[in-house]
Amino acid sequence: MCLLLFAEKQCRPTDKLVVLCPLQVAEKVYEHVAFSERYDDLRSTRHFGGMTFYFVWDKRIDGLLMDMLQRELYVALLDTYV
């Protein structure tokens, strides 16, 4: 999570890569979260929604949904899926 905040702060609005810098860092962080199956690390942060959208868009939401089922987060699961 600290890496995501760092990427947001370090890219100046005048930089040509201002859009790419945070997005590239976020993508790498989301990939690591999925690989290590540590979805709960971002669950209570403002980055959880972006991560969920990334996994849905990339058609790789299964790991997150299984994690939510195993943690018995049924209400949150229904809010995410519906």
Distance CA 18, CA 36 (A): 28
The answer on pLDDT for 1 being more than 50 is: no
Q: Which of 11, 54, 12, 10 is nearest to 29 (CA)?
A: 54
Q: Can you give the pLDDT at residue 80?
A: 66
Mean pLDDT on 70-75 = 82
Burial class (CB in 10 A: 0-12, 13-18, 19+), 33: buried
In DSSP notation, 38-72 reads -THHHHTSTTHHHHHHHHHHTT--HHHHHHHHHTT
pLDDT digits (tens, 9 = 90+) for 10-67: 555 555 554 556 677 888 889 999 999 999 988 888 889 989 999 999 999 999 999 9
Of 70 and 9, the structure prediction assigns the larger pLDDT to 70
